[in-house]
Amino acid sequence: MKQPYRLRTKIRGYLPWFLIDLGLASKGQNCKLENGEHEWYNIDGKTSGCYHCEVIRDGKLWSQEETIHLPTLQHNHYELDNAESLHNEYPDTFDIPLKELRNTLPIGTIVKLIFRMESKVDSNEIEVERMWVEIIDKQDDFYIGALDNAPYADVYVKHEQTIYFESKYIIDIFEE
């Protein structure tokens, strides 16, 4: 999905509001005018706004977007390791945040996930990397995030790529 204003969205996440209000890294006019697609979020339970542009629409467009599917090696060339399973298997050496905390993270939180990905095109060689993902939305039991790292094995997984995951995949939560 093409996002012509994604860089502006990323920059806004780091700027103080007064600079954004002055027009620095403001939202784009309309993703569709730039041959892009909107990415909707819930404004007030009945109105949808695009993350990247100024478009606002009535209705729950964020819940009508395509069904979320977790990544798999077969379809996406990467998958996520289940942190809860790893913790259960190695309780003395593999700590993870409490489930109650992992289930209630606000948008903007940065979490660490374990990625298992193909390292080369048409290869069975797998690379494993622990990487940070910024939560940009939540839909039902799924978090929607943007990869905050530049992966070493970046054939199929790229910086700022949208990542769909559940709380059971979170191994750490960034604290400033």
At residue 120, what is the residue type? Answer: K
Please indicate, yes or no, whether the overall pTM of this predicted structure exceeds 0.75: no
Q: Are residues 77 and 130 in the same domain?
A: yes
Residue 169 has a pLDDT of 98
Q: Are residues 53 and 89 in the same domain?
A: no
- Number of domains into which the chain is organized: 2
Q: Is residue 34 part of a domain?
A: yes
Residue 100 has a pLDDT of 96
Structure tokens that stand for 150 in this block? 């530049």
* Range(s) of the domain holding residue 137: 73-173
Look-up: residue for tokens 């059971």? 168
Q: Are residues 81 and 48 in the same domain?
A: no
Q: Are residues 37 and 89 in the same domain?
A: no
Q: Is residue 149 part of a domain?
A: yes
Q: Are residues 96 and 151 in the same domain?
A: yes
Q: Is residue 167 part of a domain?
A: yes
Q: Is residue 81 part of a domain?
A: yes
Confidence of residue 94 (pLDDT cuts 50, 70, 90): very high
Q: Are residues 79 and 100 in the same domain?
A: yes
Cα–Cα dist 42/50, whole Å: 9
For residues 67-76, average pLDDT: 82
* Radius of gyration of the chain from its Cα atoms, rounded to whole angstroms: 17
Q: Are residues 53 and 117 in the same domain?
A: no
Question: Residue 17, Cβ neighbours under 10 Å: how many?
Answer: 8
Q: Are residues 60 and 77 in the same domain?
A: no
Nearest alpha-carbon partner for 142 in 101, 105, 174, 97: 105
Q: Is residue 1 part of a domain?
A: no
Q: Are residues 165 and 101 in the same domain?
A: yes
Q: Are residues 49 and 98 in the same domain?
A: no
Confidence of residue 133 (pLDDT cuts 50, 70, 90): very high
Q: Are residues 153 and 103 in the same domain?
A: yes
Confidence of residue 65 (pLDDT cuts 50, 70, 90): low
Cα–Cα dist 68/28, whole Å: 26
Q: Are residues 101 and 57 in the same domain?
A: no
